[in-house]
Structure 1
Amino acid sequence: MFKNKFRRNSILLLAGILVLGTLIQPVIASAAAPPRQVKLEWNGTRLPENGLLINGNTMIPVVLLRDSLGVTLRYEPAVKTYTLLQNDDQLDMVMTASGVTMRLNNHQWNGPSAQVVNGRMYIPFTVLRDGFGYQSSWNAVQLKLNFAKKGVFFE
């Protein structure tokens, strides 16, 4: 009787370990995957910096927006806040101990958040699309994002 109980418990324990291992493995693999480089184009013209593909989101470096597209970028060190301004649109990115909190036109942004990668701030393209009125075309094979203001025709 003791052998049967020991054998049954051992089989249950082994089955539990196998199930748990198959559930945890994809999480560990996805967390360890490094960001992939994304080629960026503005109105079909190649930009000098790349974006990153992180967890399915195309991330754009904020300095690229400032340097190549003329978007105003401010930093207030006292409150650890970056602000992007273009026309009447404003994106505030507040650095906190738990990450980056974003406000778009004075409303809490509930989409993907900005991230700091290797000391550089990146924002998800979705905030540019939804808040700043940009449109895009995505080439998954070439990992390329072509974006522009709305109304520009993409092929």
Structure 2
Amino acid sequence: MKIQTKQLGSLLLAAAIAIGGVTASFSELHAASSNSQTAQQTQVTLKWNGKALETKGLLIKGQTLIPIAALRDDLKLPVAYNASEKAYTIGANYNKLTISTGYDEPYVGVNGVSTDDMKAQLINGKLYIPIGNLKVYLGIDAAWNAPAKTVSMTKGQRNEISIRTVNLSQEKMDTATYDLKYPQFAGSQAGVEKMNAVLKQHAEQVLAQAKQQMQEMGGSPANQPSKFESTYVVTYNRGGYVSLIMQDYSYLGSFDGTTSRTGYTFSLADGAQLELGDVLKANPDYKKAMLKKVQDKDGFFRRGLSDHSDFYVTGTGVAIFIQTYEFISDYYFAFTDLLPAGAKPFSG
């Protein structure tokens, strides 16, 4: 997915909505905004901790979709609806998934970050998200049984750590605002302190660069205060490893802002920052497999692919994002396409 970084920043600001506690029935969604799909729909049985639910999922074009109502009513996940903004938030921990339904298609983000795998669909007035969003962002493990057309869901196995959000700076000045958030971990693992130092340093560098920019500019243009924001989303938190995206946004009083992303993947054992080859070491030729997957034709990807590529890990694969001043391009690769049969990430 190729995204213009300037335009992305403004869109994320609009979608990163502060959701209130207003509740509403899911049937109250306006039918005119429904992305109704009736062709090739197959109902899917949903199970939570081994118990079949009355609520059904859908299988459409090979993608399994879970209704938001099931997350609220059966899985008891925190779900809030803001009627004035036509937006939902799901989750209460370090990852909060936001779905804004006031667009032609639902807009999905986690903590203000949106990637190509974050999707939602309005179907006959009901809101659905792909099963992958549960596994990656909401800490729910889900197994698909194709012959039985059943999804079995359980609480995901995560690392024994806690994650809190720290706001380095939330200053408001006449010429600029700074709202820089980053994660900090707590746990008994030896690498936690080192990980925390790296992420704190990231935020401190963003703040220092922002203030330097403001100093060099002599302040923002009249009636156009500059903005500097940082946020994050954890994409992998299991098996002794943590992977996340740090996203930084700057608006310097011009028409568009600029968004940049940095991927961090850590070993909890020692706090080491891992590269792509450390995740995919079961396949020394992973670069060749990636190039084959994009049919060797995307020169933009070829130029940006290296051992030091910016990436993040999910429960099912890795995603590389290559960015220039104008674009962020996401490339997702499933472990099944990159690793030998039976091989696992992070292991040789």
Give the TM-score normalised by structure 1.
0.71
What one-letter code is carried by the residue in structure 1 that aligns with 2:70?
L
Relative contact order, CA 8 A, sep 6+: which one is greater? 1
Distance 2:101 2:70 in 1: 19
Q: How does 1:1-155 map to 2 (within 5 A)?
A: 33-111=39-117, 113-151=119-157
Distance 1:136 1:32, change over 3 A: closer
Q: What displacement does 1:113 show?
A: 1.6
Distance 1:61 1:92 in 2: 15
Q: What displacement does 1:50 show?
A: 0.6
Distance 1:32 1:59, change over 3 A: closer
Between the two proteins, what is the percent identity of the paired residues?
Answer: 33
The answer to whether the Cα contact below 8 Å between 1:57 and 1:112 also exists between their aligned partners in 2 is no
Distance 1:47 1:128 in 2: 17
Q: Secondary structure at the match of 1:47?
A: strand
Q: What corresponds to 2:309 in structure 1? A: none
What one-letter code is carried by the residue in structure 1 that aligns with 2:112?
N
Distance 1:137 1:85 in 2: 21
Distance 2:52 2:85 in 1: 34
Q: What displacement does 1:35 show?
A: 1.4
The answer to whether the Cα contact below 8 Å between 2:131 and 2:142 also exists between their aligned partners in 1 is no
Distance 1:32 1:42, change over 3 A: closer
Distance 1:38 1:125 in 2: 12
> Greater CA radius of gyration, 1 or 2?
1
Greater share of residues in helix: 1
Distance 1:150 1:32, change over 3 A: closer
Q: What corresponds to 1:21 in structure 2? A: none
What one-letter code is carried by the residue in structure 2 that aligns with 1:42?
W
Q: Which runs of 5+ in 2 are unaligned?
A: 1-36, 159-348
Residue correspondences, number = 122
The answer to whether the Cα contact below 8 Å between 1:62 and 1:121 also exists between their aligned partners in 2 is yes
What one-letter code is carried by the residue in structure 2 that aligns with 1:146?
S
Distance 1:112 1:38, change over 3 A: farther
Q: Secondary structure at the match of 2:54?
A: coil
The answer to whether the Cα contact below 8 Å between 2:108 and 2:118 also exists between their aligned partners in 1 is no
Distance 1:52 1:144, change over 3 A: same
Distance 1:32 1:47, change over 3 A: closer
